[in-house]
């Protein structure tokens, strides 16, 4: 195990906690913009602290990495999220680490892991998409998404590729969020379809195996009966011949 892997394993749960705190602190002002100044200040402080935690994690992994250039290339999203304030909602992607933990703890089969990822990913996409689009669109000229309810409705209809058109983004940031949500929704639908197809193929294979096993058992039983009949015929032939000879002699 490398130093980076040791750090990631040790920091996994703290980062999940930080991501959850960030989710709450980020969501509260979006859901209720009329919060008091003290609550808004506390939420802002939590967001800054969690951002600092993510910075420490990124720097620690960079320092511990033996191939730092390769590390930067493979973690461009993490760097962008930390460097660009407009990508602040993407820090919610840290919650994906929580899915990885659930995956190891509660799913023993490949299909079980897929179900965990699909369910968790769907909830995260809907919630994060609704929060991000509401935050980006609220109070903008011509905006059709002003409240979290509008954001949730838009996120669900967009992720499922329904797209009613009654709610839509008017800002550049909102359109980027829409693109990310559409791509994520299509990917999730593909995973669901592939999982169902795999399950059906597995069930058909199991039924075929059972039928083949039954056929083999019938053939084996038939072979056994034929063998027993052959043995009876083979063992009974001499006795019949001897009895016939004795009858002729006595006659």
Q: How far is CA 153 from the centre of its chain?
A: 23
Q: What is the pLDDT of residue 155?
A: 92
Q: What is the pLDDT of residue 243?
A: 47
CB-based contact 151:129 (threshold 8 Å): yes
Q: Quote the tokens at residue 217.
A: 């058992």
Nearest to 120 by CA among 152, 151, 93: 93
Q: What is the pLDDT of residue 98?
A: 58
Give residue 212's pLDDT band: very low, low, confident or very high (50, 70, 90): low
Give residue 9's pLDDT band: very low, low, confident or very high (50, 70, 90): confident
Which DSSP string corresponds to 120-166? Answer: HHHHHHHHHHHHHHHHHHTT-TT-S--SHHHHHHHHHHHHTT---SS
In this predicted structure, the answer to whether residue 144 has a pLDDT above a threshold of 70 is yes
Q: How far is CA 238 from the centre of its chain?
A: 73
Q: What is the mean pLDDT of the chain?
A: 78
Residue 80 vs residue 69, higher pLDDT: 69
Give residue 239's pLDDT band: very low, low, confident or very high (50, 70, 90): very low
In this predicted structure, the answer to whether residue 55 has a pLDDT above a threshold of 60 is yes
Q: pLDDT > 70: what percent of the chain? A: 75
Least confident of 68-77, 119-128, 207-216, 218-227: 207-216
pTM for the model stands at 0.64
Q: pLDDT > 90: what percent of the chain? A: 14
Q: What is the pLDDT of residue 84?
A: 65
Q: Report how far residue 61's alpha carbon sits from residue 154's, in angstroms, rounded to the nearest whole number.
A: 37
Which DSSP string corresponds to 187-203? Answer: HHHHHHHHHHHHHHHHH
Residue 70 vs residue 89, higher pLDDT: 70
Each residue's pLDDT tens digit, 29-54: 989 888 899 999 999 999 889 888 88
Q: Taking residues 13-24, what's their average pLDDT?
A: 83
Each residue's pLDDT tens digit, 80-103: 767 765 566 665 655 655 555 555
């Amino acid at each position: 195990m490398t130093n980076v892997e040791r750090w990631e394993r040790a920091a996994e749960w703290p980062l999940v906690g930080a991501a959850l705190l960030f989710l709450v602190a980020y969501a509260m002002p979006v859901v209720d913009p009329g919060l008091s100044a003290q609550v808004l200040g506390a939420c802002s402080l939590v967001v800054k602290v969690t951002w600092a935690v993510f910075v420490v994690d990124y720097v620690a992994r960079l320092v511990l990495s033996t191939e730092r250039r390769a590390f930067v290339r493979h973690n461009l999203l993490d760097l962008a999220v930390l460097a660009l304030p407009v990508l602040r909602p993407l820090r919610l992607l840290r919650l994906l680490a929580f899915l990885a933990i659930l995956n190891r703890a509660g799913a023993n089969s490949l299909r079980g892991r897929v179900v965990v990822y699909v369910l968790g990913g769907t909830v995260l996409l809907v919630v994060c998409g609704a929060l991000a689009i509401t935050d980006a669109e609220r109070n903008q000229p011509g905006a059709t998404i002003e409240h979290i309810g509008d954001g949730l409705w838009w996120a669900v209809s967009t992720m499922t590729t329904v797209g009613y058109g009654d709610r839509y983004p008017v800002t550049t940031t909102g359109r980027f969020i829409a693109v990310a949500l559409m791509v994520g929704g299509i990917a999730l639908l593909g995973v669901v379809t592939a999982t169902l197809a795999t399950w059906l193929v597995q069930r058909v294979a199991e039924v075929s195996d059972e039928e083949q096993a039954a056929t083999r058992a019938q053939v084996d039983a038939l072979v056994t009966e034929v063998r027993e009949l052959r043995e009876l015929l083979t063992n009974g032939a001499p006795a019949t011949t001897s009895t016939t000879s004795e009858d002729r002699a006595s006659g």
